Amino acid sequence: MLLYTVSLCVLTMVAAQDGGVVSYEGYQLLRVYPSTAQQLGTLMDLVRRRRYEGLVSLWSQQLFASRTSANNRTEQSADLLSAPQVLEDLVEQLDANGISYDVLIHNLEEAIQSENPPIDPENDELESRGGHRLTWRRYHRYKDIDSYIEYLAITYPDICQTEVIGKSSQGRDLKLLKVSTGGDGNKPAIWIDGGLHAREWISPATVTYIMLQLVEFRDLHPELIDSVDWYIMPVANPDGYEYSHSTDRLWRKTRSGAKANKRWGKRTCYGVDPNRNWDFHWGEDRSSSSDACTDDFRGPKAFSEPETKAMADFILTRKDQIKIYLTLHSYSQMWLVPWGYKNDKPKGYYDMYILAEKGVEALEAVRGTDYLLGTAAELLYTASGASDDWAKGVAGIKYSYTIELPDTGSHGFVLPAHEIEPVGQETWAAVKAITRHFTDARVP
């Protein structure tokens, strides 16, 4: 295990030209295994060399977490997406420096095209007769998710209501669903959000699956609503989410105003990484960038984005009620506990770990999916300005977690749609488990 922290910048790969759809034809995803400090330094140099060309991008890194792969290799690794024009050179450099690697995705564009099944007009019509078009067999656009939120509020008015907490940069509603049997906020509450990073499609799909189970199958678990209020926001970054569907499947950031940057040879760059934009140790480490053209641009200031500011304002007005904060991301199959901005553990970490452990155990019992549990700093890397650290450090929500959904890299961000229901089922099992443990055990 490497005994020091490495922060990497996730780079913007390509930009759509003249409004066209970005193609990733010939792009390959490599998992590389630097086993020494020297190899890690070489790897970082390779990435930095292509940084401003946008030809190599870091998808994920597990340099401090051990997980045994199918070929019995203990993985301390980084996933690199390479453009075809530099792939040969990248592989030669890896070989020359003795850095082993596997090819996880041979052609990213093919993976993207097969990720989401086409809409069957006949089935789509049948589904719409149920009052909404949302399914858990394919990934849906934002309008379908928004319509489902409205459908639940109209169909179950005794327990559901919608609330618009703000507007996105492009004017879309920032909408959440409140699920409650009443009580004027006297009950403890759980917050769940998804879709903060636009390209992580499995996140909103999983959050809507939780909504489905919680509301439409409430008779199976009435205690979950009787004892707890729920605030659920399936798409926290609607502009970016829509852009990832319409133009660039790998778009990560928001879509806030254009910023000039001559270094990249582009007139303008858009968006901010919304999970580096929270006002808690914002911009203190190298896990985020001051360059507006990178995927991890932290913004010109904390809470520069209306999306993060609206979420924070809403949570702060209910910080004494909200006892559990869950934000769903992908990928890597990890349940992350603060802190992420430093290697130390927060006050109450043992209690936080025990509750998370209940969730991980329930999740793994569904189909054996292996999750790692620990802090982001110890399992991944230090990163400041993240929402879970803010929820813990500023809002004072003791049980604040990031759940990194499947998979571990075989598909990465382009997880096939047939995985939506299984991922939803196991994640729902985890949410039920921590809720029941929290309420039954009267966890402090």
Mean pLDDT, to the nearest integer, of 186-197?
A: 97
The residues carrying an active-site annotation are: 404
Query: In the structure, what pLDDT confidence band is assigned to residue 18 with cuts at 50, 70 and 90?
Result: very low
Higher per-residue pLDDT: 18 or 188: 188
Q: Is the pTM of this model over 0.75?
A: yes
Say yes or no to pLDDT of 246 above 80.
yes
Judged against a pLDDT cut of 60, whether residue 109 lies above it is answered with yes
Q: How is residue 109 written in tokens? A: 């564009």
How many Å apart are CA 416 and CA 427, to the nearest integer?
Answer: 17
Check whether 297 has a pLDDT greater than 50.
yes
Query: Which pLDDT tens digit goes with each residue over 331-367?
Result: 999 999 999 999 999 999 999 999 999 999 999 999 9
CATH architecture of 28-115: 2-Layer Sandwich (3.30)
Average pLDDT over residues 413-437: 98
Mapping DSSP onto H, E and C, the string for the chain reads CCCCCCCCCCCCCCCCCCCCCCCCCCCEEEEEECCCHHHHHHHHHHHHHCHHHCCEEEEEEEEEEEEECCCCCEEEEEEEEECHHHHHHHHHHHHHCCCEEEEEECCHHHHHHHHCCCCCHHHHHHHHCCCCCCCCCCCCCHHHHHHHHHHHHHHCCCCEEEEEEEECCCCCEEEEEEECCCCCCCCCEEEEECCCCCCCCHHHHHHHHHHHHHHHCHHHCCHHHHCCEEEEECCCCHHHHHHHHHCCCCCCCCCCCCEEEHHHCEEEECCCCHHHCCCCCCCCCCCCECCCCCCCECCCCCCCCHHHHHHHHHHHHCCCCEEEEEEEEECCCEEEECCCCCCCCCCCHHHHHHHHHHHHHHHHHHHCCCCEEEEHHHHCCCCCCCHHHHHHHCCCCCEEEEEEECCCCCCCCCCCHHHHHHHHHHHHHHHHHHHHHHHHCCCC
User: pLDDT for 404-424, tens place per residue?
Assistant: 999 999 999 999 999 999 999
Confidence of residue 286 (pLDDT cuts 50, 70, 90): confident
Residue 257 pLDDT class (50, 70, 90 cuts): confident
Residue 187, pLDDT > 70, answer yes
Query: So what's the pLDDT on residue 10?
Result: 35
Q: How confident is the model at residue 3 (pLDDT cuts 50, 70, 90)?
A: very low
List the chain domain ranges: 28-115, 121-242+301-440
CATH topology (fold) of 121-242+301-440: Aminopeptidase (3.40.630)
Looking at residue 266, what is its pLDDT? 53
